[in-house]
Amino acid sequence: AQSVTQLGSHVSVSEGALVLLRCNYSSSVPPYLFWYVQYPNQGLQLLLKYTSAATLVKGINGFEAEFKKSETSFHLTKPSAHMSDAAEYFCAVSRSYNTDKLIFGTGTRLQVFP
């Protein structure tokens, strides 16, 4: 079975500060990992995905994530937070061979203070 754990349901940072959102995964097969962002009353938008190519993945809006197999982690970072980054962030994992259904974590709400 696959699962993801997002540590910290709420993260607050000041504008311009480093953003770090944590995600640890559990998977019996090589995982495919994703970060999605959700703005209020909207669907999910893909930020980035890990598909076993490069371990450091760059996404949209300046976000990146590093796949660390030894730590079973896929943390999301951004060097400098903007007010517009305030949203809910979800880490997700999928198998690739039978189905691409996504298994999501419980989410982390990012607040950005001026």
Partner 1 sequence: DTGVSQDPRHKITKRGQNVTFRCDPISEHNRLYWYRQTLGQGPEFLTYFQNEAQLEKSRLLSDRFSAERPKGSFSTLEIQRTEQGDSAMYLCASQLTGTGGSISILEQYFGPGTRLTVT
State the residues that interact with partner 1 by CB under 8 A: 9, 32, 36, 41-46, 49, 51, 90, 92, 96-97, 99-107
Least Å distance between CB 111 and partner 1?
15
Half-sphere exposure of 3 (CA within 13 A, CB side): 4
Least Å distance between CB 33 and partner 1?
11
- What are the Cα distances from residue 21, in Å, to 6, 25, 29, 31, 103? 8, 13, 24, 19, 17
CA 91 to chain centre: 4
CA pair distance 62, 19, nearest whole angstrom:
11
Q: Report residue 84: phi and psi, to 5°.
A: -70, -10
Least Å distance between CB 36 and partner 1?
8
C-beta of 13 vs 89, nearer to partner 1: 89
C-beta of 43 vs 114, nearer to partner 1: 43
C-beta of 26 vs 96, nearer to partner 1: 96
Least Å distance between CB 19 and partner 1?
19
